[in-house]
Chains A and B, each alone.
Chain A
Amino acid sequence: MVSPAPKIAVENLRLSYGHKEVLHGIAFTVAPREILGVIGPAQSGKTSLLRCINRTVEFTPGAVMTGTVRVDGEDVMRVPDVYALRRKIGMVAPLPVGLPLTIYDNVAFAPRCAGVTDPAELDARVERCLRQAALWEEVKDRLDTLGTKLSGGQQQRLTIARALSHDPEILCLDEFSIAIDPVTTMRIEDVLKELRAHVTILLVTNLTQQARRLADRTMFLWNGNIVEIGPTEEVFSDHPKDRRTFEYVNGIFG
């Protein structure tokens, strides 16, 4: 199979916090408009991996990253404009961080930082993103209340809306459904399926079934190493390449 140029290419990525290495030289690629599921137990380096891609890892004192992460062929450590890189990537954290702004300003934050000032365009964008995050109907009458006043699940959907607000080419979801009820989760999963048409998605999840439902390929990360990466059907089949994958997916790990 001749694959197109990868959207994200990671080579020999090592990351350590102080003396503790959390990613031990991992390599993989993500094709454009692919959903890559990332599964693995706690402390396996899933979140750190995402933070390497948009370079937010550098805010952690003592974090040292070696190897290369390329987005669209460009080494993220050498991009001329890191802010443009970060706008290319939408990031959703596991626990929602509603900025202390109104709901509207939360969603309009990134476009404004990118220089969008036209009110009509901002309005349209805010509505579109809130609809995509399945939040519009609940908040459309109170867009000027503080985002931090929303419930946990609503805040999480607000962060999803925010992550979509700057038209990212890549969406990194870090256990987005932790604070959301199953029905809303399914609605957002449907949105992700639509977004697949033009967005590359990295889906880190503790719900292995979520990866199974959505991901084209799935990567099993364990203790900072890739145990297995392959088509989702294969990873979730009775005979994945690695025995440990089977055990993890079927809940008999350990």
Chain B
Amino acid sequence: MNPPPVRQARSALSLWGERAIELLIRLCGISAVIFVFSIFLFVFLEGAPLIPDLNWIPVIFSPEWYPTSRSNVRYGVGAMIIGTLSVTGLAMLFAVPFGLGAAVFVSEFCGGKLKETLKVAIEMLAAIPSIVWGFIGLSVMNHLIQTWLPAPVGLNLFNAALLLALMSVPIIVSIGEDALKAVPDSYREAALALGATRWQTVYRVLLPAARNGLLAAVLLGVGRAIGETMAVLMATGHAVNIPTSLFDPIRTLTATIAAELGETAVGSPHYRMLFLIGLMLFSITFVVNLLADLAVRGVRRQ
């Protein structure tokens, strides 16, 4: 008995459908690369004409940022690079232990109602707009720091780092908890059956098993902190200054762009310099991601 011809036609159609869908999916994948590359290209093209006019060593290392000076224009972003790195680093110093600890607690040590309540609270924390954090930094923390800590001004590195930590903790907790949840229960049971306590199970089995996911959680937290603009603009004091103590005002790369781009003439050197700062931010994130990727690969090879 021959198969009816309709089936033949249909299978040809479904073959084409298969190809079309495959193409569509491939396009979706490639589009990510295209977007990243075109954003990079746009930022680069806006900044590029200034590159030959710059003397790079003072630009990167000097804290002298006088883009509107009439007599002697200087574009030193050293203080801002240090500002961005120090505020992010300090924020991570607070956020990583707290975030990972909270993720372990939520995932492994608390159950039922408390867990649900905590998860909802953490998600709400993640949903607070950054301008609101900036407001808290400006009005609440500013006052508290001036009152309780030996700081001449309340808008400083410490204030902003605390805000950034509070902003990245929810991300670290929720992604970290997902990573721990993805560890099969059979690992937990096997470890406990061998006489491990819950804590021994966590640090000997779960943390190594969830290593990649936890690293991703931390890096997303770092990304959040580096890219944050509004809260740091409001809470750092926005002073071009290389910090020598926790309570020095600083300025970050992101806040500089946000505060000054609207004031520059399109195509002017100052405008182009701000795009070059954007390019620096791009490179910092790129390096962080690259290091993370290498770390994950190194871990895998072991």
Binding site for B on A (CB under 8 A): 54, 56, 59, 83-84, 86-87, 89, 91, 93, 95, 97, 99-101, 109-110, 112-114, 159, 162-163, 165-166
Contacts and interface: CB of A to CB of B under 8 A. Distances in A.
Most chain B beta carbons < 10 A, residue from A110, A162, A165, A166: A110
Interface in B141-188: 184-188
Nearest to B209: A100
B194 A162 contact: yes
Give the 7 A-B residue pairs with the shortest CB-CB distance, closest first. A87-B195, A110-B194, A100-B209, A86-B195, A97-B190, A113-B196, A97-B186
Contacts of A163: 194
A87 B194 CA distance: 6
Given A99-B205, A113-B196, A113-B200, 11 more contacts: A56-B189, A59-B189, A59-B192, A87-B194, A95-B186, A100-B187, A101-B204, A113-B194, A113-B197, A162-B194, A166-B195
A159 B190 CA distance: 9
A165 B194 CA distance: 9
Contacts of B189: 56, 59, 97
A86 B200 contact: no
A55 B209 CA distance: 24
- Size class of the contact patch on chain B: 10 to 19
Contacts of A165: 194
Contact of A99 (B185, B191, B195): B191
Interface of B: 184-197, 200, 204-205, 208-209
B196 to A, nearest CB: 4
Given A100-B205, A100-B209, A112-B204, A86 B187 contact: no
A181 B204 CA distance: 31
B180 to A, nearest CB: 13
Main secondary structure of the interface of B (DSSP, over half): helix
Contacts of B194: 86-87, 91, 109-110, 113, 162-163, 165-166
Contacts of A166: 194-195
B297 to A, nearest CB: 15
A71 B209 CA distance: 33
Nearest to A98: B190
Contact of B208 (A86, A87, A100): A100
22 contacts: A56-B193, A59-B185, A59-B188, A86-B192, A86-B193, A87-B195, A91-B194, A93-B190, A97-B184, A97-B189, A97-B190, A99-B191, A100-B187, A100-B205, A109-B194, A110-B196, A112-B204, A113-B194, A113-B197, A113-B200, A113-B204, A159-B190
Most chain A beta carbons < 10 A, residue from B192, B208, B209: B192
Nearest to B210: A100
B195 A113 contact: yes
A105 to B, nearest CB: 8
B187 A99 contact: yes
A162 B196 CA distance: 13
Contacts of A95: 186
A114 B195 contact: yes
Nearest to B191: A99
Contacts of B197: 83, 113
B208 to A, nearest CB: 6
A93 B188 CA distance: 13
Nearest to B190: A97
